[in-house]
Each structure stands twice: as structure tokens, then as C-alpha cells.
Amino acid sequence: MAPEISERAQKVQASPIRKLVPIAEAAREKGRKVIHLNIGQPDIPTPDRMLDAIRRFDEKVLAYGHSAGLAEYRRALVRYYARHGIDVDSENILVTIGGSEAILFAFLATGSVGDEVIVPEPYYTNYDGFASMAGIRIVPLTTRAEDGFHLPAMEQIESRITDRTVGILFSNPGNPTGVIYTREEMEMLKSIALQRDLFLMSDEVYREFAYDGDTPTSVLHLDGIEPHAIMLDSVSKRYSACGARVGCLVSRNQSLIASLMKYAQARLCPATVEQTAAAAAIDTPDSYIDGVIAEYQRRRDICHEGVMEIPGAVCLKPKGAFYLVAKLPIDDGDEFARWMLESFHVDNETVMVAPAAGFYGTPGMGRDEVRLAYVLEEKTLRRAMRILRKGVEVYNQERGGREPTQEKTAMK
Amino acid sequence: MAPEISERAQKVQASPIRKLVPIAEAAREKGRKVIHLNIGQPDIPTPDRMLDAIRRFDEKVLAYGHSAGLAEYRRALVRYYARHGIDVDSENILVTIGGSEAILFAFLATGSVGDEVIVPEPYYTNYDGFASMAGIRIVPLTTRAEDGFHLPAMEQIESRITDRTVGILFSNPGNPTGVIYTREEMEMLKSIALQRDLFLMSDEVYREFAYDGDTPTSVLHLDGIEPHAIMLDSVSKRYSACGARVGCLVSRNQSLIASLMKYAQARLCPATVEQTAAAAAIDTPDSYIDGVIAEYQRRRDICHEGVMEIPGAVCLKPKGAFYLVAKLPIDDGDEFARWMLESFHVDNETVMVAPAAGFYGTPGMGRDEVRLAYVLEEKTLRRAMRILRKGVEVYNQERGGREPTQEKTAMK
């Protein structure tokens, strides 16, 4: 006899990409080269000053740091945010164990078990895991490829609000869609938050990843909603330091920060060495991030153009992050992704994509969509896009020549 | 208007020691030296090989690691546990972000919201924070200074079981008491777990800190309860590396590990650099840990003897960890701790203790007890114990000459 595992732990959804991992491994074992468009691990080198700070760590005891984060790092963050027009104090900042813990903390502080948070879909799937931990129900708000995944009208958003709704969570720039909300969209969210007394939780880990000169509006740029605004952040993407696990939660709502400090104290502190490194990274020269943005903008163009060459594909050119969601002339992204790994190759190479259905909370949505991460250097990315286009063609031929949909292929 | 912070975040108890921190700061501002017997930050240097591994980190990209932990580190842990007579595979190990996350994961996997976990009190107060996050109710099982904080009889433990009970969580060696459960006590817990189909969650972060030749029985040393047994661990104390935030959860219940992997994937991974360092630490020569144990055993003796010189104090000599809980001839440990900081000194030095009431889940328990951490070098520790003894004496004189209780002072 074995005691029963909790219902929540049994029911929480596994990463939607994970079930494809053994299939990719099997492909590799057959000697096939798999190009990964499915994951968001950047290949950009971590800034030297960050790695140097790790190598220079010279304490004799690797001791606990402050539960709110090292004072030195919080002060550095104040400078960083000031450069982005965000005026906050150290006291507004709680350093977290990656952006991940910032999400969990946001859920814990804003809702009780059974409360609801509205999240535009498709959304970062790991929100589901933290919602399960915190007992929060995510209420998806559908956005569409045809609209470039911008927000629907105010009435549609308000129609999702119930008496259990405590807030709205979104990522901006958006994972998985690459959308950057306009100032007007942010002002609309602000109006809703004020009128309905909701928290606005803005996941801004892709802040720098904005193309064509766009600048995302932070939730902390908005005036008059100080107690409502919670910003979630991370060094993972900005400094190509995903393994550092250093993030933060920023809010001018000091009661919220004070409440969360109790949870922060329970888990003691984020890792000391990486916080020191993150502090050093703050003064990374602009040339580093400018170079990164220029590089990603080129990749974004290659990826988007590659999608647009697939007859029937729908994808507005995304403005930010390093993903896009493309609607493809396929029935089932899950089956297609599997087929690409098991049955298709060009010169012994194939491509792994992330079926987008897993990024939706509404069952049945996104079945003809895939998420592509453009975190590969140009040459490989171009090749990957050609393989993907060919893959869609052959896949449909094998399935009886399904015609591309009549939707307009390039909308921008 | 501001949206309301969740009830759980408002209600979760702050660290019971925390409210004394500003008082200690005020004492220091008056120029007083405060000796800290209240905290568990070891002063022992972190092993060189661990710090060297940090300094040798030579990846170009600080990338995500595996969600279950780096394969290299999990293999090293298998070797480490084998040395302690614990036979496990990599697959049984989930590397966590400190022992802290292992506690949260154990709660998430074993219980649903409203379920109960029995915990012998006094207990590590941060269990409360994780119970709040997971919506678990901790049901305290009182143990007594007079019994050296060993477990009560089986019937008493069973009397706390309800239809919501999912498991029993304990630390062994124990924080804050220093108790090491005997083999018989562990077998009793096993019987209960088997008969009542409960999980046994054993927090073994102080494994090495066992004195007088004692060897703690791990929950994974027990036969026939493989699906029930969950072991929680951390490198924090073992290698004096509290700031590394590397722990693990170990269980032969593979369904449990598989369920938890989904949560582990949501939070991506523990910090990469520190896992590399923890892997290097596994082969720290025995001389390091032998030296640490010898050092702590001397400190334990000094601390315990110091307590025994206080007329009316009750404290069986603890066998492990680096804390003890002493019953003192005082009315209120909280008031006493505050008074020591505000109103008492010997040659301008005073001592900060942790009132033990905060380590109890049952209201009113432990009011005449304090926890002392013996993480200071001998000379300072001796001085601290003299100051504490004098403090108790003067405190009682000021309060009208309260007599020491008639209880036997030294029971061992």
C-alpha cells in the first residue's frame, strides 16, 4: 500500500513541450540532427562582468543573504530601473529566486485558494504550475494571431471578471507571442484595474527585447495605480543568465511587499553568488544589450519571413521577446511537431517546434499554431525555417493535399 | 483605494525572531555589543573545494540546468548517500532550491488544501510559511524539555491523526531542540505510517551534526516503507553554505517524484553555479566534517554546561544539530529576550536569544523556553553563557526575586 499523492500534484499539467523530448531524443539516436525552435535558452554569451563576478567571489563563508535580497543588488536595481524611467526605491524591491518565484509570490499575495486571475492566452505555460501551487484559478482571455495577439476590447476583458477575480497577469513583451502592448492597451488595463479594484501583474522579463525602436510600457510607468501594480522581472533573458535564478518582484504597494517578506523569510534568501553577479551585470555597457537587440531583431526578421513563406500561415510581425506564435495550415500542432521529429528530415536535419495548444488555457484553442523561439544564429535559423516550410508542405501532401486556408498570409 | 492583499499573505506569521531585530539594532546603536545566540548561521568556513568550484566556473553562458538538478550533482549525491548507508538512484533525487523548496514540494505532493501534517513541536518555524503557501494545516505534537524533546508514546501521536492527516514531518537531528530520535522512535513512526497510510517526511539537513558517537537513523534506512518515506536535505549546514540554496528531496516513491517534476519544471531549475559547487563539495575530505563535528561538540558542551549553571534551568544534553532549547526560570521568553537587549549588559556586552514560544504551534507553549544556537567560537560562547546566566539572575531580582523552580536542574 502507498499513501496517495495529492490531487493537485497529480493534476498539475506537465510542460506541454516535455512529452516531445523523448521523441527528439529518439530522433537524435537515429543520427538525425534536431534544430531546436522549441526552447527559450538564449545562445548569447553572458556578459563578462557577470561571469567575472562569480569567479571573483571571495567570501570565506557562503552565508545567508538578506531575505529581500542583497542590499547592494537592490540598490543596483534601483539604478537599472531609473534608466528605464521607472522610479522605485530599494524598499519596493523583493529579490526572488528567478522570475519564477516572483510569479508564485504574486499569486500568493493577491489571491486566496479558489480566487481567479485573468491571463491573456496564449500565455507562458509555467503560470499554470504556480497557479496550482497557490491554488489560484487562471481564467484565460483569448487573443488571436489575426490581431497580432493584442488585447481584445475592454468589454471582452471585463466579461471575464467575477467576484473571485483578484487581478490580471500578462507578460509584456509577451511570451509566447512577442506582442508588445501599446500605451493605449496599458491604459485600458489601468482603467479596468482601477474600476474593478484589481491587481495588475506585469511580467516584464523581456523588457529590453523590443524591436523596430519600440519601448514597452511598464506597469510601473502608469500613474495613479501604485497599490495595484506589481512588476515581475528576471535577469535570465536580459543577461543570458537563465541558470542564475535571480529575479525580483517590484511594487509600490508596501503592505504587499511587507506581507511577501514573511514568505521570503520562510525560504531564507536567493543564492548569494548569483546576486553578486547580477549586481555586477547592472552596469553592463549599453553596447552589450544594443548588440543583443540588433542580433535578435535580425533573427526575428528571418523567423517571421520564414513563416510568411509558408502558404496559409498567419503571423503578424512580433515586436518583442524572442518568440512568435504562427498559425500554420495544419490540423494539429502536436501531431505535426511529433511527425517532424519522427518522419521528416532534409539532409538528415529536422526541426523541433513547440505546439501552441499548450500555451492556451481554453481547451481546443491553438491547435493549428506553433511557437517558434528564434534563439539560434542566423545561418542555422534560415536553414531551420526552410526545413519547417518544407515540412509543412510534405506533411499536408501526405495527409491528402489539404489546401492552405484562404486567410491573408502576410498582414503586416 | 487599494485592492486587498490575500488573507493568507496577511495572516502568515512573521519570523518570531524578527521582531527582536530592531531592538538588537537599537542596542548596537547605543554602542552595545550583541552576541548572537539566536541565529543558525555557522561561522565555519565553507570547504575550499566548494568555493574553488565557484571560482572555476568557466561556461560562456550561464544556462538553465535540468529541472531535476544537474546530472553530475545527482550522481554525486548518490555517492554521498551511499556513504551514509542510504541506497538510492539519481532517479530518486530531485534537487531543490535549498531545503526550503524541498519542504514546500513535500507539502504540495502529500496534501491538498486543508489537509493536515503532524509536526512534533517545538519545530523549525519556517514550516509554517511553507504550510501557508501550500494551504496545509500543521498539527503540533507537543514534546517536552523534561523528555529531551523525544517523541511521546504512540497513542499520543495517533490521537492527533484525523481523516485529513496525510503525513508526519519532523527534523532529525532536530532544529530547534537538538534531539536525535532513537532507532526505536523511528520504528514507531514507521509503524504508524504503515498502519495509517501516512507519508513520513524527514528533514535531515543536520545529518552530520551528531555528537557522542551517535548516528541518526534516516527515514531511508527504514525497510518496507519505501512509498511513504520522503527525505529532505540541504548543503547549507553540512558545508557551511547557507547562501548556496541547494537542497534536495529524496524518495523511492517514483510516482511522487514524477508528480513533483511537474512543479520542478515550472520553476525551471536550481542555480547552476552552486550545484556545480555542491557537486565538488561531495568529496570534501572526512577531516573537514570530522573537524566541524569535534568543534560543534565542544560548543554544545559549553552551551549545555552554561545552561546547567543557571539555577532552575531544564535541558537534557542534546545529541545533534547546533541548537538547544532550554527551559529557564523566567515567565516570558519574549519579554526576557527583549529585556536582555534593552536593559542588561555585562561590560557593555549582551546576548540575543530566540524566545522558544515561536517554535511551538500550540498557543501558550514554550513561554519559559529559549533556543540557543551554538555557532560561535568557544571563547565568545563561554562569555555569552556567563552573560546569559547573570541576565537571568538580575532579571528575576528586578521582578521581585522569583525563586528557581523546584524541577531538577540537571537531568543527565
For the domain that residue A326 is a member of, what is the CATH number?
3.90.1150.10
* Residue A203 and residue A109 share a domain: yes
Separation CA B353–CA B336 (nearest Å): 9
CA A372 to mean position of chain CA atoms: 12
* Residue A267 and residue A292 share a domain: no
- Indicate the residue of A10, A135, A273 with minimum beta-carbon distance to B54: A273
Q: Confirm or reject contact between B118 and chain A (CB < 8 A).
A: no
Residue A25 lies in a domain: yes
Residue A54 lies in a domain: yes
**Among candidate residues A258, A281, A304, the one where a domain is terminated:** A281
* Residue A52 and residue A40 share a domain: no
* Residue B250 and residue B157 share a domain: yes
* Residue B16 and residue B62 share a domain: no
Amino acid identity at A191 = S
CATH code at B197?
3.40.640.10
A345 is in which domain, residue-wise? 13-44+287-398
Interface of A with B in 331-390 (CB under 8 A): none
pLDDT of residue B408: 35
Q: Which chain A residues are Cβ-neighbours of B256 within 8 angstroms?
A: 5, 9
Picking from B13, B104, B267, B376 by the largest number of A CB atoms within 10 A of its own CB, the best residue to mutate is B267
Domain count within chain B: 2
Residue B383 lies in a domain: yes
Residue B411 lies in a domain: no
Residue A403 lies in a domain: no
Chain B: closest CA distance from residue A292 (Å):
14
User: Judging by beta carbons within 10 Å of its beta carbon (0-12, 13-18, 19+), is residue B386 exposed, middle or buried?
Assistant: middle
Q: Which chain A residues are Cβ-neighbours of B54 within 8 angstroms?
A: 54-55, 57, 62, 273
Backbone angles phi, psi at B241, to 5 degrees: -135, 50
pLDDT of residue A248: 98
* Residue A93 and residue A80 share a domain: yes
pLDDT of residue A392: 98
Q: Which chain A residues are Cβ-neighbours of B13 within 8 angstroms?
A: 262
- Indicate the residue of A13, A199, A244 with minimum beta-carbon distance to B62: A244
Interface A-B: count of C-beta contacts within 8 A: 276
User: Judging by beta carbons within 10 Å of its beta carbon (0-12, 13-18, 19+), is residue A45 exposed, middle or buried?
Assistant: middle
Backbone angles phi, psi at B236, to 5 degrees: -55, -50
pLDDT of residue A406: 41
Please give the helix or strand (H or E) that residue B35 lies within, else none.
strand B33-36
B182 is written with which cell numbers? 532513537
**Among candidate residues A281, A315, A347, the one where a domain is terminated:** A281
Q: Confirm or reject contact between B262 and chain A (CB < 8 A).
A: yes
* Residue B294 and residue B319 share a domain: yes
Residue A408 lies in a domain: no
Helix and strand numbers (H, E) in chain A are 13, 12
* Residue B294 and residue B237 share a domain: no
Q: Confirm or reject contact between A122 and chain B (CB < 8 A).
A: no
Q: What is the pLDDT along chain A (412 residues), one digit of tens a residue?
A: 789 999 999 999 888 777 898 899 999 999 999 999 998 778 889 999 999 999 999 999 999 899 999 999 999 999 999 999 999 999 999 999 999 999 999 999 999 999 999 999 999 999 999 999 999 999 999 999 999 999 999 999 999 999 999 999 999 999 999 999 999 999 999 999 999 999 999 999 999 999 999 999 999 999 999 999 999 999 999 999 999 999 999 999 999 999 999 999 999 999 999 999 999 999 999 999 999 999 999 999 999 999 999 999 999 999 999 999 999 999 999 999 999 999 999 999 999 999 999 999 999 999 999 999 999 999 999 999 999 999 999 999 998 755 554 433 333 3
Picking from A10, A137, A201, A267 by the largest number of B CB atoms within 10 A of its own CB, the best residue to mutate is A267
Separation CA B132–CA B205 (nearest Å): 22
> What parts of chain B have a pLDDT lower than 50?
405-412
**Among candidate residues A281, A312, A336, the one where a domain is terminated:** A281
What is the DSSP-derived secondary structure letter of residue A40?
-
Residue A81 lies in a domain: yes
pLDDT of residue B307: 98
Name the closest residue on chain A to residue B108, using Cα atoms.
A9
* Residue B341 and residue B253 share a domain: no
* Residue A298 and residue A256 share a domain: no
Inter-CA distances, B44 with B92, B250, B288, B338, Å: 30, 27, 10, 28
Name the pTM for this structure: 0.94
* Residue A168 and residue A94 share a domain: yes
Q: Which chain A residues are Cβ-neighbours of B100 within 8 angstroms?
A: 266-268
Judge if ipTM > 0.95.
no
* Residue A244 and residue A144 share a domain: yes
Cα angle A398, A399, A400; round to 5: 95
What is the DSSP-derived secondary structure letter of residue A269?
-
Separation CA B351–CA B389 (nearest Å): 10
CA A248 to mean position of chain CA atoms: 15
Residue A134 lies in a domain: yes
pLDDT of residue B14: 85
